Amino acid sequence: MMTEKRIDIKVFVMPVGACSYEKGWQYAVDLISKKLKDRFGDIFTMKLIEVFSPESFEYKEILDAIQREAIRVPVVTLNGRVIQSGGKLSERSIKRGIEEVRLLAVAE
């Protein structure tokens, strides 16, 4: 039986001041993650990273691209590849990215 490759999703956002959880980025990420886990199961991890937080400095290419305005927040990466830049956080683009990875895994 083939085990599915884990999918690593990161969502990079600008730091936000204190606001209610329901209006914040973490809520949006948690909501989308739950919907996608209901659909695909536990084949991915999805993490929110605030730009300029200590953790964000591990992703130099992303920070550099944001500072050069080559990409805009929110930035969504899937296995290190940018799949969304700017606009609203898109469940559809993340779902499409997961489906593409699963199709590639089947083809291998």
Confidence of residue 108 (pLDDT cuts 50, 70, 90): confident
Looking at every residue in the chain, the average pLDDT score rounds to: 90
- Give residue 18's pLDDT: 62
**Separation of alpha carbons 52 and 14, rounded Å:** 8
Token pair of 54, please? 């200590």
C-alpha distance across the termini of the chain, in Å = 14
Question: What pTM did the predictor assign?
Answer: 0.89
Query: Tokens 């300029």 map to which residue?
Result: 52
What is the spatial distance between Cα 78 and Cα 57, in angstroms, rounded to a whole number? 18
Mean pLDDT of 22-28: 86
* pLDDT per residue as tens digits for the range 66-103: 999 999 999 999 999 999 999 999 999 999 999 999 88
As a CATH number, domain 7-107 is 3.40.30.30
Delimit the domains of the chain by residue range. Answer: 7-107
Question: Helices marked H in the chain — which ranges?
Answer: 25-40, 60-67, 91-107
